[in-house]
């Protein structure tokens, strides 16, 4: 298969497997999604979903969260890792939302990426999943899949994002991001497949015999 053929097969197969993929992080509005995505850095979605009920019981909106102590937030989110930095970011971004954005999550990449603890990937998730704007958030997991499937030779997530956006129709970006996450967890995990085992890997590269060496970001 050439790259475009692989992309078409992957898009079709993922749509068959996950026709209406739910958002992996539990949330009720753009603010709680923003906080959940921030917490998911170097942490599993499952663990985030175990922590956020207690966090949102403490405060589930920026007006309330801005007045909470960093220490109280840190104590709750400790299981997610990086709790000192994440707790400071959550309280500070809540203050900024109240001061600059009327206690609302801004609907723009530029404004989101100005918030503490919010990088391009987090902003992309919020823009796509909270507001429905086309985006293709790429983390290390999607970076790994894209390389195994021959969709990119990028050595970092920035280049991989550009390559995926060129390959797939813009109307499918938001679903594909989530579909890739689910497929990676179920069939093509870091330890469960080395580029030769799962259906997509073996279909795209039926003659591949050696594990894929990844260009890590």
Angle, CA of 158, 160 and 165, to the nearest 5°: 100
Per-residue DSSP letter, 49:
H
- 24: enclosing H helix or E strand: none
Buried b (16+ CB within 10 A) or exposed e, 87-96: bebbbbbbeb
CA–CA dist 182, 141 (Å, integer)? 10
* 37 neighbors 122 (Cβ within 8 angstroms): yes
**CA distance to 25, 36, 49, 61, 164, per residue, from 30 (Å):** 12, 10, 16, 10, 25
One of 139, 153, 162, 166 is an active-site residue; which one? 139
Asked if 3 is an active-site residue, the reply is no
Asked if 194 is an active-site residue, the reply is no
Residue tagged 């197969």 (tokens): 13
Cα torsion at 207, 208, 209, 210 (round to 10°)? 170
Residue tagged 């050595």 (tokens): 155
One of 86, 121, 163, 175 is an active-site residue; which one? 121
**Residues belonging to the active site:** 121, 139
């Amino acid at each position: 298969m050439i790259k475009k053929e692989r992309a078409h097969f992957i898009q079709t197969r993922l749509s068959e497997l996950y026709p209406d993929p739910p958002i992996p992080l539990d949330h009720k509005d753009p603010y709680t999604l923003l906080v959940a995505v921030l917490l998911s850095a170097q942490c599993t979605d499952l663990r985030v979903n175990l922590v956020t009920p207690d966090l949102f019981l403490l405060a589930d909106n920026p007006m309330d969260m801005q007045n909470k102590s960093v220490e109280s937030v840190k104590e709750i989110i400790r299981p997610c890792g990086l709790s000192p930095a994440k707790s400071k970011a959550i309280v500070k971004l809540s203050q900024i939302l109240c001061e600059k954005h009327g206690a609302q999550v801004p609907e723009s990449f530029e404004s989101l990426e100005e918030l503490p603890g919010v990088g391009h990937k987090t902003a992309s998730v919020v823009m796509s999943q909270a507001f429905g704007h086309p985006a293709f958030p790429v983390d290390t997991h999607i970076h790994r899949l894209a390389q195994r499937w021959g969709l990119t030779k990028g050595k970092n997530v920035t280049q991989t994002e550009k390559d995926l956006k060129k390959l797939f129709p813009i109307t499918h970006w938001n679903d594909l991001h989530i579909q890739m996450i689910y497929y990676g967890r179920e069939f093509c995990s870091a330890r469960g497949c080395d580029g030769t085992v799962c259906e997509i890997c073996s279909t795209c590269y039926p003659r591949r015999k050696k594990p894929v060496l990844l260009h890590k970001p």
